[in-house]
Structure formats: structure tokens, C-alpha cells
């Protein structure tokens, strides 16, 4: 990734403080807001159909996360998405639980059909559900059979590229090994720590951070998404390294935000483990 420095992506976020409108689940929404503030962006939440067009208009990006979707918020996703599309805003979709219920799979698919989504950020089970390859999502977590490993890395990247081709979006699949791909290029990212799966919200937080990075880096979005993914993984490593034996997922959650907050461009550049496939 010589052509575009990861640190530039981070510094562009801090310099421009992108305002991101989030229609997201109520489980991790507080972490999402604090993650956006920590990375250098600014959050606003609204999911009322009569409110979202105004709100999204004053933002630079829109996050749609279907983690606790309902009839009202689905309508708001379409209304906000349509306005964001008209305005040329970044749109990031987090298809939480696609494959786990008919409503989630259908909602994510309809949003992808209707909107010019910029980035899809999910786990491999969700991505497979969206390309029609399986419907084995285990709730909101990846099905263990779908874990990205060195052994299936090429096949996993192929799923990412397939969804990118089908939708025109950048696809970010996170797991033990993360994949960031568009229809032409793909990166494998090996930052992160298993404890990130023991707190709720690390994926949702990343989705919001990805939006901030995509807004702040319009000319290098694929690299910016890779920077966001590597940065959150690196923050997870930093947070885990601070833990003492009495600490658990409560302290980890706090330290993860701290690490995102204090991340510098140099630190990201030095710690990111990004490989072009």
C-alpha cells in the first residue's frame, strides 16, 4: 500500500471531523457514537422516517445497521438512503444477522438493490448470505464454519470480490483475518485479537469508523477502508495489552475506545499488517 499511506487516511479524518448519520441498533449505539468521536468524526443518530431526510442532509455519510431493525427503522433506512444517494453521500451497510432471519436477508438485499452503497461491512456468514452462497449465520456472530483462515483465504477473498462486483460496493469482511476488497483488488489484514469477539459492538463500531474514513478520503476509499479496519484491529491489540489478570470484557471495552482515541498516524502505519492479495 505504498501509493497511499494509511496514516494519511487517519489524519484526513481528524482534520475534517466527518459528521456521520447512523440508523443503527440500540444494543451498541452508545459505543458507535463514542467510537466515531474517538476516531475523529462526529455522530448523529435518527431513525424516524419524518426526521432522517433532514438529518442525513447535513451529514457527509450514512450508516445503515440492521442489528435491531423494525418496520419504522426499515422505512427510515430507505428514506435516508434515497436522500443520501441524491446528495452523493457515502453509504455504509452493516447487514447484521443477514442469513439469520428472512426479514434481515430481505432488508439488506433490498437496500443493496436500491442504493448505491459505498461499503458493506459484515462477517463472512452475512456476506455469504448476501451472495446467496449459504444461510448459516449463527445469530449475529459468524458461523464457525465460515471463519476466514489461511487455508480458505483465496476462496474468502473471492466471496468478497463477488459481492463487490454484484453491488459496486467495497466489501469489508472482518474476522480472525479481515478482507477488504472491491471488484478488482483485495487486501488481507491480520490485526486484532480474539477478545474483540467477547465484547458486543466491535463490528458495529468499525462500521461507523469505516464511514468516517470513507467520507474523509474520497479519492482513496479502498485504502481508507483498509486503514479503518487495520486501525480498529490494532486498537484491539493495544487495548488487550493493557489488561491485567482481573480485567475482562468490561475493561477491554473501555480500553478499546481509549486506543482508538489515542491512535496516531505513525502508530497505525507501523502496526498495521496489511497485505495485497
Q: Report the interface residues with a second copy, using CB under 8 A.
A: 19, 25-31, 33-34, 37-38, 42-48, 50-51, 54-55, 58-59, 67-72, 97, 100-104, 138-141, 198-201, 242, 245-251, 253-262
> Closest CB to a second copy among 160 and 228?
228
Nearest C-alpha neighbor of 192 from the set 206, 207, 208, 176 = 176
> Closest CB to a second copy among 3 and 245?
245
> Closest CB to a second copy among 100 and 272?
100
Least distance in Å: CB of 210 to a second copy? Answer: 18
Residue 215 near residue 90 (C-beta atoms within 8 A)? yes
Alpha carbon separation from 9 to 211, 220, 239 (Å, rounded): 12, 8, 22
Q: How many residues does the chain have?
A: 277
> Closest CB to a second copy among 139 and 218?
139
Least distance in Å: CB of 50 to a second copy? Answer: 5
> Closest CB to a second copy among 106 and 155?
106
Residue 13 near residue 44 (C-beta atoms within 8 A)? no
Least distance in Å: CB of 140 to a second copy? Answer: 5
- CA dist 44 and 12 (Å) reads 20
- For residue 196, the 8-state DSSP code is G
- For residue 137, the 8-state DSSP code is -
Least distance in Å: CB of 42 to a second copy? Answer: 6
Least distance in Å: CB of 8 to a second copy? Answer: 22
Residue 62 near residue 36 (C-beta atoms within 8 A)? no
Residue 77 near residue 24 (C-beta atoms within 8 A)? no
Least distance in Å: CB of 18 to a second copy? Answer: 11
- For residue 242, the 8-state DSSP code is H
Nearest C-alpha neighbor of 39 from the set 62, 16, 59 = 16
In DSSP notation, 87-130 reads TT-EEEEE-TTBTTBHHHHHHHHHHHHHS--SEEEE-HHHHHHH
> Closest CB to a second copy among 59 and 115?
59
> Closest CB to a second copy among 44 and 183?
44
Amino acid at each position: 500500500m505504498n501509493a497511499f499511506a494509511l496514516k494519511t487516511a487517519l489524519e484526513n479524518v481528524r482534520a475534517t471531523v466527518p459528521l456521520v448519520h447512523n440508523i443503527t441498533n440500540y444494543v451498541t449505539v452508545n459505543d458507535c457514537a463514542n467510537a466515531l468521536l474517538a476516531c475523529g468524526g462526529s455522530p448523529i443518530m435518527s431513525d424516524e422516517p419524518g426526521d432522517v431526510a433532514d438529518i442525513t442532509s447535513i451529514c457527509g455519510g450514512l450508516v445503515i445497521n440492521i442489528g435491531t431493525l423494525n418496520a419504522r427503522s426499515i422505512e427510515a433506512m430507505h428514506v435516508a438512503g434515497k436522500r443520501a444517494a441524491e446528495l452523493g453521500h457515502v453509504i455504509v451497510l452493516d447487514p447484521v444477522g443477514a442469513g439469520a432471519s428472512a426479514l434481515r436477508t430481505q432488508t439488506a438485499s433490498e437496500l443493496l438493490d436500491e442504493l448505491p452503497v459505498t461499503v458493506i461491512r459484515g462477517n463472512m456468514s452475512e456476506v455469504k448470505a448476501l451472495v446467496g452462497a449459504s444461510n448459516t449465520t449463527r445469530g449475529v456472530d459468524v458461523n464457525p464454519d465460515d471463519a476466514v483462515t489461511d487455508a480458505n483465504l483465496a476462496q474468502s477473498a473471492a466471496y468478497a470480490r463477488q459481492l463487490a462486483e454484484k453491488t459496486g460496493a467495497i466489501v469489508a469482511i472482518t474476522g480472525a483475518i479481515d478482507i477488504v476488497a472491491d471488484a478488482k483488488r483485495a487486501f488481507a489484514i491480520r490485526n486484532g485479537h480474539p477478545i474483540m469477539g467477547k465484547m458486543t459492538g466491535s463490528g458495529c463500531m468499525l462500521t461507523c469508523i469505516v464511514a468516517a474514513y470513507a467520507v474523509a478520503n474520497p479519492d482513496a476509499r479502498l485504502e481508507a477502508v483498509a486503514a479503518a479496519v487495520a486501525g480498529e484491529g490494532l486498537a484491539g491489540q493495544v487495548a488487550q495489552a493493557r489488561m491485567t489478570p482481573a480485567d475482562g470484557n468490561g475493561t477491554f471495552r473501555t480500553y478499546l475506545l481509549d486506543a482508538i482515541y489515542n491512535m496516531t498516524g505513525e502508530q497505525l502505519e507501523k502496526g498495521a499488517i496489511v497485505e495485497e492479495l
